Structure 1
Amino acid sequence: MKLGFLTACLPESDLSDIARWAAEQGFQALEVAAWPAPDPRNHIRVDQFDEAESTRVKKIFEETGLTLSSIAYYDNNLHPTRRAGINAHLRRCVDAAAELGCPTVGTFVGRDPGLTVDANLKLAEEVFAPVVEHAARRGVTIVIENCVMKSWHPDGYPGNLAYSPELWEWMFTLGLKLNYDPSHLVGLGIDPIAAVTPYVDRIAHVQAKDTQILPGRIDRYGFYGPLGGDKGWYRFRVPGLGQVDWARLIDVLYEGGYDGVISVEHEDPVWSGDPAKVRAGLGIAYRTLHGLIVG
Structure 2
Amino acid sequence: MKQIKGPGIFLAQFASDDIPFSNLDDICKWAAGLGFKAIQIPSWDARFFDLNQAAQDTSYCDEILKKVASYGLSISELSTHLQGQLVAVHPAYNEMFDGFAPEHVKNNPVARQEWAVEQMMWAATASKQLGLNAHATFSGALLWHTFYPWPQRPAGLVEQGFAELAKRWLPILDAFDAAGVDVCYELHPGEDLHDGVTFERFLKAVNDHPRANILYDPSHFILQQLDYLAFIDIYHERIKAFHVKDAEFNATGRAGVYGGYESWVDRPGRFRSLGDGQIDFNAIFSKLTAYGYEGWAVMEWECCIKHPLDGAAEGAKFIEQHIIRPTDKAFDDFAGGAADVEFNNKVLGLS
CA contact (8 A) 2:244 2:300 kept: yes
Q: Report if aligned partners of 2:140, 2:191 keep a CA contact under 8 Å in 1.
A: yes
Q: Do structure 1's residue 6 and structure 2's residue 16 form an aligned pair? A: no
Q: Secondary structure at the match of 2:193?
A: coil
Q: Report SS of the residue matched to 1:95.
A: helix
**Aligned amino acid, residue 255 of structure 2:** Y
Name the structure 1 match of 2:48.
43
Q: TM-score, normalised by structure 2?
A: 0.72
Does residue 62 of structure 1 match 2:54? Answer: no
CA distance in structure 2 between the partners assigned to 1:181 and 1:196 by the alignment: 11
* Letter aligned with residue 158 of structure 2: V
Q: Which runs of 5+ in 1 are unaligned?
A: 149-158, 272-276
Correspondence 1:197-216 to 2 at 5 A: 197-214=233-250, 216=252
1:230-252 residue CA offsets vs partner (Å, 9 max, x unmatched): 78322111221111000011001
Residue in structure 1 matching 2:302, options 254, 260, 267: 267
Q: Alpha-carbon deviations, 1:269-295, whole Å to 9, x = none?
A: 223xxxxx4222111222322112136
CA contact (8 A) 2:10 2:298 kept: yes
Determine which of 228, 253, 261 is the counterpart of 1:192: 228
Query: 1:45, 1:202 → 2: CA distance?
Result: 29
Tell me the percent identity.
Answer: 23
Which residue in 1 is equivalent to 2:35? 26
CA–CA distance in structure 1, aligned partners of residues 159 and 200 of structure 2? 15
Counterpart of 2:279 (choices 237, 240, 244) is 244
Query: In the alignment, what sits opposite 1:131?
Result: 172
Aligned counterpart in structure 2 of residue 147 of structure 1, from 180, 185, 188: 188
Residue pair 1:105, 1:141 contacting (<8 A) in 2 also: yes
Tell me the matched-pair count. 274
Counterpart residue identity of residue 248, structure 1: A
Task: Give the Cα–Cα distance (whole angstroms) in 1 for the partners of residues 318 and 69 of structure 2.
Answer: 27
Give the aligned partner of residue 155 of structure 1. none
Deviations along 1:112-151, whole A, 9 cap, x unmatched? 2578433221111111111111111112111100111xxx
Contact 2:186 2:214 in 1 (8 A): yes
- TM-align CA RMSD: 2.3
| Structure 2: unaligned runs, 5 residues or longer | 91-108, 147-156, 326-351
What is the rounded CA distance, in whole Å, between the counterparts of 1:236 and 1:189 in structure 2?
14
Q: For the pair shown, which has the larger CA radius of gyration, 1 or 2?
A: 2
Match of 1:179 in 2: 215
Change over 3 Å in CA distance of 1:288–1:62 after alignment to 2: closer
- What is the deviation of 1:73? 1.2
Greater shift after overlay, 198-207 or 58-67?
A: 58-67
Look up the equivalent residue of 2:172 and give its one-letter code. Answer: V
1:56: Cα distance to partner? 3.2
What is the one-letter code of the residue matched to 1:121?
F
